[in-house]
Structure 1
Amino acid sequence: MSRRIVCLRHGQTLWNVEHRFQGHTDIALDETGQAQAVRAASLLASLKPTLIVSSDLSRAHDTALALARIVKLDVAVDKDLRERGGGAWEGLTREEIRARWPEEYIAWEAPDGEPVTEVAARVVAAMRRWAAQLDDDGLLVIASHGAALRLGICELLGLPEELWHTLGGLGNCSWSVLEEGRKGWRLLEHNAGTLPEPVNSDDIET
């Protein structure tokens, strides 16, 4: 057996529906998001996770708690698993961002926001730190955010930055599965558990 990581994106929030940049702003799950978390938990519980960790933001933490209640585990919290910080963009819709910062919008780089390379570095450090606590056949569930998880996965897989865009986004309460092999980590599943709905995320590819 090999160590595995399940990267679980949080459930839906009102700001997801309104296409607002959430970033570090602490937005709660809406009613749909709560139901999504319960559904995802019922499916992921069958994988028998041995460790659960989440972002310190409530939308991710509450998603993790839905699983923790079923499998009788505690949820560790790690601030390094937060979403990408959006600076002045947080709380604004994509249309508002495009109108005020047309050039930055094209690059999807908030002038006072967090660079993607910094997000990738802190998220992958957290992923490695928590995975190191697993037994050889352990399963870690990380409840986090769309952009943060995608960037962390790309970094963990060793993809060069110019190819990060090739990995698509995660739907609300969908997940990716990584497994540690002899040559490092590999991606087994991506955006699993999703329905044919658009991905509403702070990420550029939405």
Structure 2
Amino acid sequence: MRIIITRHGETEENKLGIMQGHLPGKLSSKGISQAKKLAKRLKTENLDFIYSSDLTRAADTAKEIAKYHKNTSIKFTKEIREKHHGEFQGKRKDEIKWDRKSAFPQPKKGESEKKLYKRAEKFIHKLIHKHPEDNILLVCHGGIGLTLISVITGQRLNTMKRLYNTSINIFEIDEDRNHKIICNNCIKHLKS
């Protein structure tokens, strides 16, 4: 199995430092350009399935990629939505105070790191079971993307860096669930 994980293009909210969580988000002009460059970079990948968060910013990025993969449909799902930021959602990061020891802020009425991890773990296990021989693309968000990578690699979340917009992360997973990292947080395609 081969899994490619990418994050949506830059949004207007990213530019303003707004915590989006489950808000839809709108790709900025830079984000649209990033999505097009990502799509061009991935056009030679043999994608059997594309899964995308159902939130607008990820869905729009996935649709751009799918233009090069006419025979591969996109499955939009809530399973790989960004972490729900509760009371922080829609606020700028500089307005929020949180414990910097945790990988993500822990707002009231929001999704905990533990719940986010369990959601990511359940999704990865489902993919491994359902698509053991397939090439899968996941178009998602920074927080859930890092969490999915953590599930695959076993690396702790609080030791991981941010996931760049439209970065490419490729993993090969064998039948024993051993993984091989092909590339991680690659943004070379944005330099062109």
Mark yes or no: TM-score above 0.5: yes
User: 1:73-131, CA deviations, whole angstroms, 9 ceiling, x for partnerless residues?
Assistant: 21101101000000110111111113xxxxx3534221221111111211232233234
TM-score by length of 2: 0.88
CA–CA separation in structure 1 for the residues paired with 2:17 and 2:99: 14
CA–CA separation in structure 1 for the residues paired with 2:163 and 2:157: 14
What corresponds to 2:92 in structure 1?
Answer: 93
Aligned-residue identity in percent: 26
What corresponds to 1:36 in structure 2?
Answer: 34
Structure 1: gaps spanning 5 or more residues: 99-103, 198-206
Does the C-alpha gap of structure 1 residues 30 and 131 become closer, same or farther in structure 2, counting only changes over 3 Å?
Answer: farther
What corresponds to 2:171 in structure 1?
Answer: 178
Does the C-alpha gap of structure 1 residues 149 and 88 become closer, same or farther in structure 2, counting only changes over 3 Å?
Answer: same
**Residue aligned with 2:164, SS:** coil
CA–CA separation in structure 1 for the residues paired with 2:3 and 2:33: 23
Structure 2: gaps spanning 5 or more residues: none
What corresponds to 2:55 in structure 1?
Answer: 57
Letter in 1 for 2:7: R
What corresponds to 2:25 in structure 1?
Answer: 27
| One of 8, 11, 21 as aligned partner of 2:9 | 11
Q: Is the 8 A contact 1:120 1:155 kept in 2?
A: yes
1:166 and 2:159 equivalent? yes
CA–CA separation in structure 2 for the residues paired with 1:105 and 1:94: 13
CA–CA separation in structure 1 for the residues paired with 2:33 and 2:167: 13
How many residues align structurally? 186
Letter in 2 for 1:157: T
Letter in 2 for 1:189: C
Q: Is the 8 A contact 2:132 2:175 kept in 1?
A: no
Letter in 1 for 2:109: D
**Residue aligned with 1:132, SS:** helix
TM-score by length of 1: 0.83
What corresponds to 1:101 in structure 2?
Answer: none
* Range with bigger deviation, 124-133 or 77-86: 124-133
Letter in 2 for 1:149: G
Displacement, 1:164?
Answer: 1.9
Q: Is the 8 A contact 2:48 2:136 kept in 1?
A: yes
CA–CA separation in structure 1 for the residues paired with 2:147 and 2:136: 18
CA–CA separation in structure 2 for the residues paired with 1:189 and 1:89: 32
What corresponds to 1:200 in structure 2?
Answer: none
What corresponds to 2:124 in structure 1?
Answer: 127
Q: CA RMSD in A?
A: 2.0
What corresponds to 2:66 in structure 1?
Answer: 68
Displacement, 1:157?
Answer: 2.6
Does the C-alpha gap of structure 1 residues 53 and 196 become closer, same or farther in structure 2, counting only changes over 3 Å?
Answer: closer
User: 1:129-162, CA deviations, whole angstroms, 9 ceiling, x for partnerless residues?
Assistant: 23433362x2100000001010122123334xxx
Q: Is the 8 A contact 2:21 2:89 kept in 1?
A: yes
Does the C-alpha gap of structure 1 residues 185 and 149 become closer, same or farther in structure 2, counting only changes over 3 Å?
Answer: farther
Q: Is the 8 A contact 1:6 1:140 kept in 2?
A: yes
What corresponds to 1:193 in structure 2?
Answer: 187
User: 1:5-25, CA deviations, whole angstroms, 9 ceiling, x for partnerless residues?
Assistant: 000100010110111100011
